Amino acid sequence: MSLDAVLSRIDADLPAATDRLIDLLRIPSISTDPAYKAACDQAADWLVADLQSLGIQASKRPTPGHPMVVGHIDGPGPHVLFYGHYDVQPVDPLELWDRDPFDPRLEDTAKGRVIRGRGASDDKGQLMTFVEACRAWKAVNGTLPCRITFFFEGEEESGSPSLVPFMEQNAAELTSDIALICDTGLFQSQSPAIVTMLRGLLGEEITITGPGKDLHSGMYGGVAMNPIRVLSRIIAGLHDDNGRITVPGFYDGVPELSAELSEQWRGLGFDHAGFLGDVGLSVPAGEQDRTPLEMIWSRPTCEVNGIKGGYTGEGFKTVLPSKASAKISFRLVGQQDPHKIRESFRAWVAAQLPADCSVSFHGHGASAASTMATDHPAFEAARKALSDEWPASAAYVGCGGSIPIAGHFKQILGTDAMLIGFGKDDDQIHSPNEKYDLESFHKGIRSWARVLDAIS
């Protein structure tokens, strides 16, 4: 087996690989909207056919929601499972896109060529880096360097309701020596990184109800309690003046960063001014006694993601609304228990209600944080392999986002997960004009070839 020959094949095949990715990006596989159910099925079928073209035994597996794609191919050495997701976020607001989100194209920009389209970075482009690495390896050697299981999900962007039951029902089939996940990015858009810490996620929607119907603010204003006023006071009280979250017991299970990891993170030279400046901000808004990287990677958060109440259309309507609601998310770290935090948050909100107001709650998922076991030999082998491909050496980093699948691999399958991705901070995932740098796609494919070689 010649790694150099595989890398040369990847370079020569990049135009065809890009065309294949663009073909997949044309499928509007929006998992959260029932109107796109057929498109999600189409994307799963596309992946099954592509895997089968490589000699992989692949099939579409039904779930109560969107299907899973599972494929297997034998090989020597360790058993590796690769996970990715083929579903994408909704495209709203459509008017902010410069082109049709599902009419992907290569574009020349001031920073280089990019692949523009919904799902280009999250996660179809990332998923296909691994598939294309396997394609090149198979073309050069006739086989793959190890036994591989491919596991593609279609509900990641809508809370993965079918994932845990499917994993539990198929645990024997999915258990491997190491799991690989490609749904992260480069550190500061230039250094390869292996994520070793992931925050958990708790979602809560609260609705405050006051009067039984909307009221005229001239007739009832001042004498009737306004639910928006109640909701605003509750939201304002979620943080103290130093950015610390005030929900009782919220910090139970939050660990302090080790001196070694703290020193390593300081050595990364994180440019928080540039990071915030790219989105028109300048001052870190989290806990004021923490560094910006700690705020993003190792500290928990509470954020209001949406507020609704009263009249919000054009013009003006002097209404005192019957209801007001907010969507609030908590990013969790360490051993924080999302279920205990949910109970504490709900009790904290209910205790602040004035007379004549009631509250209802709707939960939107609850997953704990994950910490990876970097003493597994595959981690250091992969770190060295990534360092050989990129100008900067690879580092172990944290991640501000939540990727529950990493924890599920450990809890359900007993498998450690290694998260390696090639996205950039300006990829605009979940936003209009999402893109994936052609360099990320190209060097991502080469990186997976090197990693497979190293861990095999």
Tens digit of pLDDT for each residue in 94-144?
999 999 999 999 999 999 999 999 999 999 999 999 999 999 999 999 999
Q: What is the pLDDT at residue 438?
A: 98
State yes or no: pLDDT of 412 exceeds 70.
Answer: yes
* Residues 297-307, mean pLDDT to the nearest whole number: 96
Q: What is the pLDDT at residue 40?
A: 98
CA distance 101 to 26: 8
Q: What is the pLDDT at residue 256?
A: 93
Buried b (16+ CB within 10 A) or exposed e, 144-176: bbbbbbbbbbbbbbbbbebbeebbeebeeebbb
* Residues 54-68, mean pLDDT to the nearest whole number: 98
Residue pointed to by tokens 């280009």: 120
State yes or no: pLDDT of 264 exceeds 80.
Answer: no
Q: What is the pLDDT at residue 370?
A: 86
State yes or no: pLDDT of 214 exceeds 90.
Answer: yes
> Where are the strands (E) in 86-177, listed by range?
105-109, 112-116, 147-153
CA distance 323 to 206: 10
State yes or no: pLDDT of 444 exceeds 70.
Answer: yes
CA distance 56 to 326: 46
> Domains of the chain (ranges plus CATH)?
3-198+369-455 (3.40.630.10), 200-258+296-367 (3.30.70.360)
Residue pointed to by tokens 């645990």: 171
Residue pointed to by tokens 């159910």: 37
Would you state the structure tokens that stand for residue 132, as one six-digit string?
A: 């294309």
CA distance 121 to 421: 10
| Banded model confidence at residue 260, pLDDT cuts 50, 70, 90 | confident
Question: Which residues are paired to 367 by β-bridges?
Answer: 201
Would you state the structure tokens that stand for residue 349, as one six-digit string?
A: 């909100």
Would you state the structure tokens that stand for residue 398, as one six-digit string?
A: 């944290």
**What residues contact 419, with CB distance under 8 A and at least 6 apart?**
181, 182, 183, 184, 194, 195, 198, 372, 399, 403, 406
Distances (CA, A) of 10 to 7, 51, 93, 239: 5, 17, 36, 50
CA distance 265 to 272: 13
Higher pLDDT, 159 or 165: 165
Mean pLDDT of the chain: 95
CA distance 330 to 204: 8
Q: What is the pLDDT at residue 333?
A: 94
Q: What is the pLDDT at residue 305?
A: 97
* Residues 188-204, mean pLDDT to the nearest whole number: 91
* Residues 420-449, mean pLDDT to the nearest whole number: 97
Q: What is the pLDDT at residue 1?
A: 59
Share of residues in the chain with pLDDT > 90 (%): 86
State yes or no: pLDDT of 300 exceeds 80.
Answer: yes
Whether residue 123 is preceded by a cis peptide bond, meaning omega within 30 degrees of 0, is: yes
Q: What is the pLDDT at residue 371?
A: 84
Q: Which of 342, 401, 351 is nearest to 237 (CA)?
A: 351
341-344 contacts, C-beta under 8 A, 24 or more apart: 341/202, 341/247, 341/249, 341/250, 342/202, 342/204, 342/366, 344/247, 344/248, 344/249, 344/250
Would you state the structure tokens that stand for residue 316, as one six-digit string?
A: 């003006």
CA angle (448 as vertex; 370, 51 as ends), nearest 5? 95
CA distance 369 to 402: 8
Indicate the pTM of the whole model. Answer: 0.80
Would you state the structure tokens that stand for residue 414, as one six-digit string?
A: 């007993």
308-316 contacts, C-beta under 8 A, 24 or more apart: 309/227, 309/228, 309/231, 310/214, 310/228
**Chain mean position to CA 342:** 21
**Taking the CA of residue 403 as centre, how many other CA atoms within 13 Å lie in the half-sphere pointing to its CB?**
30
